[in-house]
Amino acid sequence: MTIPGLVAWSEATAERLLSPLGRRWEHVRQVAALADLVGAAFAADHGTLVAAAYLHDVGYAPSLALEGFHPLDGARFVRDQGHERLARLVAHHSGARFEAKLRGYGDYLDEFPFEDSDLDRALTYCDLTTGPRGTRLTLEQRVKEIMDRYGSGHVTPRAILQGVPDFERAVSETERLVEHAGVVINGSQALSR
Res 186: pLDDT: 64
Average pLDDT, the chain: 93
pLDDT at 188 (0 to 100): 52
pLDDT tens, position by position, 87-99: 999 999 999 999 9
Looking at residue 193, its pLDDT comes to 31
- In angstroms, the CA 91 to CA 73 distance is 8
Tens of pLDDT, residue by residue over 120-145, are 999 999 999 999 998 999 999 999 99
Segment 144-156 mean pLDDT: 91
Q: Find the range with the poorest average confidence among 95-109, 126-140, 153-167, 177-191.
A: 177-191
Whether the full predicted model's pTM is greater than 0.85, yes or no, is yes
Q: What is the pLDDT of residue 191?
A: 38
The pLDDT value recorded for residue 190 is 41
Whether 53 shows a pLDDT value over 70: the answer reads yes
Q: How much is the average pLDDT of 149-178?
A: 94
Contact 74, 56 (CB under 8 A): yes
Average pLDDT estimate for 62-80: 97
Please give the residue that has the higher pLDDT: either 185 or 131: 131
